[in-house]
A and B are shown apart, each in its own frame.
Chain A
Amino acid sequence: MLIKSKVLKRFLKRKSSLVGGIIIIIFILVAIFGPYLTSRNPLDIDLRNTYQKPNRDNWLGTDNLGRDTLTRLIYGARITLIISFTSVFLGTLVGLILGVIAGYYGGLIDNILMRTTDILLAFPGLLLAIAIVAILGSGIMNTMLAIAFYSIPYIARIVRGVVISIKGLEYIQACEVIGCSNFITIINHIIPNSMSQVIVNTTLNLGTAILTSSALSFLGLGVQPPHPEWGAMLSTARDVMRTTPIAALIPGVAITLVVLSFSLVGDGLRDALDPRLKNN
């Protein structure tokens, strides 16, 4: 408990992480309570009101089919949240398991797993995601799978490194001496002690996941129309960048803000959880 409050204190001391944290909380709240914030339907088309500038009825203007941009932004937050959290959770879970197995058991199994991740890491992340979507087809579900898949090698690699460094420590040797099974050692000691690294990377990954899902939708491979998704909104607004720049600006700023916030929070967490600082 003492340690945790210290971590929190250290985290809050960094102003940038604090700001990032607040933005993320707002983002999550908007995503969860979105439908209560607006009475409009994000799919309501009004072809007589396309590309309106912000006004009293449409606070952030309307898009190419006259749909309210604010409403779409709010509903888009929900899709973005679901995609990023689900995919990162899935990716982290699998990556964690593979990383622990590779790091703890070592030998041939480690070799096979790590060479496989090397191969996957050789692909640029987005390219890998595009390839997966091309095979599975587009849509929310497949976008999540694609992002989850490409984040596996990153997590697996980090976890393996941490596990190897923990494995040599006395308390693990103590576990072996008192006859703990491998399973118990892993569950009770290895995983909890590598968690801080995992948390930091998961946070940073959330930002990347949002960026990737937006990129996929921007390219028309991710979330399918008419669902509001920030990347897709940006993509359609691109055609009118010169006449109605605000249409592209709004989803662009939203993506940037949220991704930046996750990076800031991730950095803040890394510093706060750094074991070297624990005793300061």
Chain B
Amino acid sequence: MVKGNRYIYLTLLILSVFFLISVSSLAQSAKSKDVLVYGTSTDAATLDPHVQNDSHSEQIVAMLYNTLVKFEPDGKIVPDLAENWSVSEDNLTWTFKLKKGVKFHNGKEMTANDVKGTYDRFLAEDADATRLLAKNLTQMFKSVDVIDDYTVSITTKSPYGPMLSLLSNRTLAIMDPDVIAKYGASTGDFVESSIGTGAFKIVEWKKDEEIVVERFEDYFDEKAKLQKVIIRTIPEAASRVIALETGEIDMTNQFPAEDLQRLKNNPNITVRMTPSVGARLFRFGCNNPIISNTLVRRAIIYAIDRQAIIDGMFPGMAYPSTCSLTPVVWGYTNLGVIDQDLEKSKSLLAEAGYPNGFKTKIVTTPRYEKGVELAEVLSAQLSMVGIDAEIEVLEWSVLLPLWMGVTPEVFDQPIFIMGAGTSMMDADGGLRGLYTTTDTGTNERNYGFYSNAEVDKLIFAAMQETNPDKRLELYKRALEILYLEDPMGIMLFDTYNRTASVSSLQGVETNGVGMTYFERIYFE
């Protein structure tokens, strides 16, 4: 009897397993075609536009929030929350007419008061500049004033050429000041405190697992075509590619160079690549006594074989740098690829007083794609001109505090890895602050303590110049110095923004900053 019962239970168990399997496969096939599963390597750190400082957070911020004006995929600036704008005779006051009927996700209407409230948050004297990245970017702002409910003006201390590019930056996205007041420093840390006007609203956030956003039905502009986007965190690159191939995710923005060819050959997958603002370089720590010598730095940039690095490690995913900015950044000038020239490098070293080379150090992190391997290659290539560079590998969390806000006495990174890319797609964002002399005693955003009086003068003159042709001229001269004459780093290669998705996915557009316009994506 007891034995008989056992068999019944066993049969029941097997049946229920079959049942579960069939139900789950049913659910799979019933997956509606307006839900997109997007695989990414890292969860968003914060969804507070003013605080976020990495592309993963920025992408989701871009889905949830709007800016006054925005970039189209080709880099053109078009109206977003603002309908139109004008600038005063003296180039100091910008007046924006706002669109009417714009709603926040909490139902409140967005007006000029919200724009002022948003900007006042980081314009305030006591705003924490190290946390609120936006404060540093808006140094030239004098005040933001409400003229009427749908008109707002921004006054600057001096003329500011790239104003519209700056306002297109997601770091200056418009938030609901009531939400900021309510949640304070934890704004953007969870679902309830991440309220924007964007085409999508956030509905769920499981940290380091997934973020779920849904179409915002009251969106002021053309509504999103997708009903729902699930942003899933899959840290391992290989697992992300497998997930795409097996249909677990529909799209990803990051995959290793080794998988590029296979993905391209897969008829069910479409790979899209567009030039980006992103460049890979190794910066010089100019506080180092040897590296501070311009001749040494020039010697180093000629010791590197960039094409070999790209062919061997990033085939089809990058192209050699031709300037300290990438071609999609406004202000770019083609200064040519720096070819490896060991003779020139050696003679520059000899001239600098190091005919037999010297010992130095390369600091890198695995956080950047193949960051460690790049350092190994650089070290090997430098050894050809007699420079003996040891490699120090640091975790991101260890490295960041060593970079930010340190004094030259503390900073010990003669050559260090860096990813550059300005979110405002303008030379002002790509140069000012990064390569201009700091006067506070710490490096601030100029991690490598680069200092060149002429570069400082040119970059600040270009910032205040409103005539585009004259600005270009100023940047050209600054870039010649930064790239060749008094190098700030070893520019290696410029990257593509890349996405790989199932082929049925259409309307995938990514701009130079690497932001994908999710509201335009749909399944065929």
A203 to chain B, nearest CB (A): 32
Q: Are the C-beta atoms of A239 and B238 separated by less than 8 Å?
A: yes
B308 touches A226 (CB 8 A): no
Q: Does B406 contact A (CB under 8 A)?
A: no
Given pairs A65-B313, A65-B376, 5 additional interface contacts (CB within 8 A): A51-B258, A220-B393, A225-B391, A226-B376, A240-B258
Return chain A residues, CB-CB under 8 Å to B481.
Answer: none
Counting CB contacts under 8 A, is A66 at the interface?
A: yes
Q: Is the beta-carbon distance between B311 and A65 smaller than 8 angstroms?
A: no
Q: How extensive is the interface on chain A, given as a class?
A: 20 to 34
Say whether B208 faces chain A, with CB atoms less than 8 Å apart. Answer: no
**Which residues does A use to contact B, with CB under 8 Å?**
43-45, 47-48, 50-51, 64-66, 138, 220, 224-226, 236, 238-244
Q: How many residues of B contact A (CB 8 A)?
A: 27
Residues A47 and B312 in contact in the complex (CB < 8 Å), given A225-B375, A226-B379, A236-B373: yes
- B237 at the A/B interface (Cβ < 8 Å)? yes
Given known A224-B391, A226-B379, contact A238–B238 (CB-CB < 8 A)? yes
Interface contact A225-B313, CB-CB below 8 Å: no
What CA separation (Å) do A50 and B315 show in the bound complex? 11
Are A65 and B312 in contact, with the CB atoms below 8 A? yes
Q: How far is the CA of A224 from the CA of B363 in the complex (A)?
A: 12
Name which residue of chain B comes closest to A244, CB basis: B258
Chain A positions within 8 Å of B312 at CB level: 47-48, 50, 65-66
Please report the C-alpha to C-alpha distance between residue A226 and residue B391 in the assembled complex, in whole angstroms: 8
Q: Are B366 and A45 in contact (CB under 8 A)?
A: no
A226 to B256: give the CA distance in the assembly, Å. Answer: 21
B372 touches A48 (CB 8 A): no
Indicate if B484 sits at the interface (CB-CB under 8 A). Answer: no
Contacting pair B391 A47 (CB below 8 A): no
Contacts of A48 in B (CB 8 A): 308, 311-312
Q: Which residues of B contact A (CB under 8 A)?
A: 237-238, 241-242, 256, 258-259, 262, 305, 308-309, 311-313, 366, 370, 372-373, 375-377, 379-380, 391-393, 395
A224 x B393 contact (CB < 8 A): yes
Chain A residues with CB under 8 Å of B377's CB are 45, 47, 65
Cβ 8 A contact of B309, one of A47, A220, A236 = A47
Nearest-CB distance from B273 to chain A (Å)? 20
Give Cα A239–Cα B241 distance, bound, in whole angstroms.
Answer: 11
Q: Are B380 and A226 in contact (CB under 8 A)?
A: yes
Main secondary structure of the interface of B (DSSP, over half): helix
Contact of A47 among B241, B311, B366 (CB under 8 A): B311
Whether B238 and A242, one on each chain, are in contact in the complex, defined by CB atoms closer than 8 angstroms, is yes
In the complex, which residues of chain B have a beta carbon less than 8 angstroms from the beta carbon of A45? 376-377, 380
A224 in contact with B366 (CB, 8 Å): no
Contacts of B375 in A (CB 8 A): 225
Chain A residues with CB below 8 A from B380, complex form: 43-45, 226
B376 touching A225, Cβ below 8 Å:
yes
CB of A224 within 8 A of CB of B392, answer yes
Inside 8 A of A244's CB, which chain B residues have their CB? 258
Q: Is the CB of B256 within 8 A of A220?
A: no
CA distance A207 to B305 in the complex (A): 42
Contact of B393 with A138 in the complex, beta carbons under 8 Å: yes
**A242 CA to B244 CA, complexed, in Å:** 14
- Listed by A's residue number, 27 A-B pairs whose Cβ atoms lie within 8 Å are A47-B305, A47-B309, A47-B311, A47-B313, A48-B312, A65-B313, A65-B373, A65-B377, A66-B312, A138-B393, A220-B372, A220-B393, A220-B395, A224-B393, A225-B372, A225-B373, A226-B376, A226-B379, A226-B380, A236-B373, A238-B238, A239-B237, A240-B256, A241-B238, A242-B241, A242-B259, A243-B258
Q: Which chain A residues border B305 with CB–CB below 8 Å?
A: 47
A42 CA to B256 CA, complexed, in Å: 25
